[in-house]
Amino acid sequence: MIKRSPSLTDQVKSHIKEQILNDEFEGNRIPSETDLANDLGVSRTTVRDALSRLESEGVIYRKQGVGTFVNRPGLQIKSRLDEIWSYEAVLEAHGYRPSTKVLDVRREPAEPAFANALNVPVDAEILVVRKLFLEDHQPVILTCNYIPQVLIQKPFETTDLKVPVFDFLGEFGDQHLSYYLSEIVPVVATESLAHTLHVPALTAVLSLEEIGFNEENKPILKACSYFRDDLLRLGLIRRKV
Amino acid sequence: MIKRSPSLTDQVKSHIKEQILNDEFEGNRIPSETDLANDLGVSRTTVRDALSRLESEGVIYRKQGVGTFVNRPGLQIKSRLDEIWSYEAVLEAHGYRPSTKVLDVRREPAEPAFANALNVPVDAEILVVRKLFLEDHQPVILTCNYIPQVLIQKPFETTDLKVPVFDFLGEFGDQHLSYYLSEIVPVVATESLAHTLHVPALTAVLSLEEIGFNEENKPILKACSYFRDDLLRLGLIRRKV
């Protein structure tokens, strides 16, 4: 699989976060920037940058004149909405044993609103993939991904779509998802959605309507996901600006 | 009103963001760190820190070897869920003319789950405030705030509760909201909620269930808010981790 190497700051950030999750810092205290820089063999600036991001994500906090500490409440959220994880990883974080089922794959012409959002001509061919993420045969998340066919450069099989959509886009389209612009929409499940998710009709379901962008800020993907609130609660940290 | 002065990094970040929103950077290009540091009379490290945060918030992006640029898609979201704004400001960003109505103020003993979340004894007195945020007489957001009475140090009138809850906590409790841990919950409006929000019964409504923490990571507030999806859509940027 083709993967872009993350920046040094991101690597340092991930490394420190992993140490935090493994409870490796005594008294929840993060070592000094200088110590971290020496331990990791990177510059203090890189460490500073990584810590600043962890702070803004609510993973750590600075106490003026005392030091930097792990922010335990910030680690409670298992499905952080402001981060893109594979849904398999999200389900695992909840202690579930995830499986994935590709419900259907079809091609359809882009409607004007879609074409506009994805920056392709009207009627351009769109690959539409519907997938279900399950925990022990129980559906938890339904996703529908819309990918401009023109981005896909290599032939693929339906089974190639079982991986996270960003991995599929990387491998078969050489497109690298950088971020989603996401809208959060509450919906009352239609009969068909309720049937797919195994919930009673008229259940409230959370949906995410998203446009995915690559590192050049070009739209490469439209996604719509539905989450069963009884099995998976999305959360995040909201900070003062 | 008592206000904590934001850190220098936060001030620089706000200043740059304001310039971005006012379209002050030619060709959407952010000046170099050195130029910004000189212009603002702060260190390059502070500028770096501020830019790193703006980047992680999706407001700007770096193009390797080319420069740093405004990320227009990232500015599209008018109600960013990962940031705490006053709801008046959110409504204004949507072009609405907001008004606030305190629906009721009461005191009640903390139930065990509440007491646990707010770290107060069971049956401790909780101040409960329900407020409606309107656009031109149309309800848009209903909030319910639960504040431990013990935090409130000064007498207040009902009209004092018209300000954003974090300003009330600052002025009457000397408590400074730093962040919320938030869960996003889709609900089907009950008859009573539908009536309050002026929507048909069985409408899907987005709710936020939150615990607010101060700068010492102590819980100071529980909040529950309901948003009319037809008038206000919450959004955010989700990034690869």
Confidence band (pLDDT; 50, 70, 90) for A1?
very low
Q: Which is nearest to A181 in space by CA: A90, A78, A54, A84?
A: A84
Which residues from A are below 8 Å from B74, CB to CB?
Answer: 181
What tokens does B162 get?
């018209």
Give me the helices (H) in A87-206, please.
87-93, 112-118, 165-173, 191-197
Q: Which is nearest to A13 in space by CA: A68, A71, A55?
A: A55
Amino acid at B57: E
- Only one residue has tokens 């959060």, namely A184
β-pair partners for B67 = B63
Which residues from B are below 8 Å from A74, CB to CB?
Answer: 179, 181
Which residues from B are below 8 Å from A211, CB to CB?
Answer: 73
Q: Which is nearest to A204 in space by CA: A217, A193, A215?
A: A193
Percent of chain A clearing pLDDT 70 (strictly above): 97
pLDDT, one tens digit per residue, over B93-146 is: 888 999 999 999 999 999 999 999 999 999 999 999 999 999 998 999 999 999
DSSP character string of A171-202:
HHH---EEEEEEEEEEEEPPHHHHHHHT--TT
Contact A226, A142 (CB under 8 A): yes
> B202 and A188 in contact by Cβ < 8 A?
yes
Q: A221: helix, coil or strand?
A: strand
Query: Which of A61, A83, A238 is opposite residue B180, by nearest beta carbon?
Result: A238
pLDDT at residue A4 is higher than 80: no
Per-residue pLDDT of chain B (241 residues; tens, 9 = 90+): 334 456 788 889 989 988 988 888 888 899 999 999 999 999 998 999 899 888 877 788 887 788 898 887 777 777 778 888 899 988 988 889 999 999 999 999 999 999 999 999 999 999 999 999 999 989 999 999 999 999 999 999 999 999 999 999 999 999 999 889 999 999 999 999 999 999 999 999 999 999 999 988 899 999 999 999 999 989 888 887 6
Please state, as a whole number, how many other Cβ atoms lie within 10 Å of the Cβ of residue B154: 9
CA distance A94 to chain B (A): 15
Amino acid at B195: H
Q: How many residues does chain A have?
A: 241
Amino acid at A182: S
pLDDT, one tens digit per residue, over A149-203 is: 999 999 999 999 999 999 999 999 999 998 899 999 999 999 999 999 999 999 9
Q: Which residues contact B31 (CB under 8 A, 6 or more apart)?
A: B25, B39
Alpha carbon distances (Å) from B152 to B6, B111, B168: 23, 19, 9
CA distance B82 to chain A (A): 4
Cα torsion B130, A187, A101, A218: sign: negative
Q: What is the mean pLDDT of chain B?
A: 90
Q: Tell whether A196 is within 8 A of chain B (Cβ).
A: no
CA distance B124 to chain A (A): 22
pLDDT at residue A132 is higher than 80: yes
pLDDT, one tens digit per residue, over A34-86 is: 999 999 999 998 999 899 888 877 788 887 788 898 987 777 777 778 888 89
> B56 and A56 in contact by Cβ < 8 A?
yes
Phi-psi region of B94 (alpha: psi -120 to 50; beta: other; left: phi over 0): alpha
Mean pLDDT within A202-227: 93
Q: Tell whether A211 is within 8 A of chain B (Cβ).
A: yes
Give the per-residue pLDDT at B74: 74
Q: A134: helix, coil or strand?
A: strand
> A183 and B233 in contact by Cβ < 8 A?
yes
Mutate to test the interface with A, among B57, B184, B222 (most CBs of A within 10 A): B184
Give the per-residue pLDDT at B40: 92
Which residues from B are below 8 Å from A85, CB to CB?
Answer: 241
Alpha carbon B111 to its chain's center: 26
Q: How many residues does chain B have?
A: 241
A 106-165 near B (Cβ less than 8 A): none
Which residue in chain B has the smallest CA separation from A12?
A: B241
pLDDT at residue A119 is higher than 60: yes
Q: Which residues contact A113 (CB under 8 A, 6 or more apart)?
A: none
* Residue B11: its H or E element: helix B8-21
Q: Which residues contact A204 (CB under 8 A, 6 or more apart)?
A: A186, A187, A188, A189, A229, B186, B187, B188, B204, B205
Contact A125, A105 (CB under 8 A): no
The whole-angstrom separation of Cα B150 and Cα B144 is 18
Domains of chain A: 8-75 (1.10.10.10), 87-227 (3.40.1410.10)
Give the per-residue pLDDT at A2: 37
Q: Tell whether B5 is within 8 A of chain A (Cβ).
A: no
- Only one residue has tokens 């872009």, namely A4
Mean pLDDT within A138-144: 97
Q: At what angle do helices A33-40 and A8-21 cross, to 10 degrees?
A: 110
End-to-end, the C-alpha distance of chain B in Å comes to 39
